[in-house]
């Protein structure tokens, strides 16, 4: 069962990563840095924060606290990234750090205790914590992307007023045991 858990969460992280990337494709570069006001975050700032969190949480998972001394969390919310290339480097570096850990976990690792700010978590709890945290911020990225691309937005899920058509197509297929992300990620891997 633990092996299936690792496979499932890996697919879910891949899915949310792809939602961010499909958003970046739809947003003009200069709009990646748009902030509604001084208290809000741009897409670029959210990416910086995700990068900082991923690098801190997943580097040396078993040997150091998940909140690294070298992490400068407050700086993650300043305008540091200035180009889409820079944004994509940070984005990819953070995800690579996460997936390297997930791809190398052994079943017995899942019950080990690790620490985040001195608070003990099993590895499963730490993964679940981040599986809630990253989609929260990716939802912000998608929301901003949708607003900033205006009428040019291509839906990343079931388009408005097409649920019936989508469900008809799904229920016309035989029942099968698949992960909900398999169909969505299929095109990305081809």
Q: What is the CA 160 to chain-centroid distance, rounded?
A: 24
**pTM of the entire predicted model:** 0.91
Q: Where are the alpha helices (DSSP H) in the chain?
A: 2-26, 43-58, 84-104, 123-149, 163-171, 182-189
Dig out the tokens for 112 from the structure. Answer: 């080990």
The domain of 49 spans 2-189
Looking at the structure of the chain, the number of domains it has is 1
CATH number for the domain that contains residue 111: 1.20.120.450
Convert the pLDDT of each residue in 78-134 to its tens digit.
999 999 999 999 999 999 999 999 999 999 999 999 999 999 999 999 999 999 999
Convert the pLDDT of each residue in 43-80 to its tens digit.
999 999 999 999 999 999 999 999 999 999 999 999 99
């Amino acid at each position: 069962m633990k092996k299936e858990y690792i496979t499932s969460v890996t697919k879910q992280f891949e899915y949310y990563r792809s939602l961010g990337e499909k958003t970046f494709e739809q947003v003009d570069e200069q709009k990646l840095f748009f902030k509604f006001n001084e208290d809000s975050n741009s897409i670029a700032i959210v990416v910086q924060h995700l990068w900082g969190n991923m690098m801190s949480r997943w580097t040396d998972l078993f040997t150091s606290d998940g909140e690294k001394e070298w992490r400068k969390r407050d700086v993650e919310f300043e305008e540091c990234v200035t180009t889409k290339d820079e944004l994509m480097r940070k984005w990819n570096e953070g995800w690579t750090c996460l997936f390297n850990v997930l791809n190398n976990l052994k079943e017995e690792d899942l019950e080990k205790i690790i620490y985040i700010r001195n608070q003990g978590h099993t590895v499963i709890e730490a993964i679940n914590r981040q599986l809630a945290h990253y989609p929260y911020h990716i939802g912000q990225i998608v929301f901003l992307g949708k607003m900033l691309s205006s009428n040019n937005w291509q839906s990343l899920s079931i388009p408005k007023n097409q649920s019936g058509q989508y469900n008809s197509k799904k229920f016309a297929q035989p029942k099968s045991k698949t992960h909900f992300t398999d169909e969505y990620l299929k095109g990305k891997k081809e």
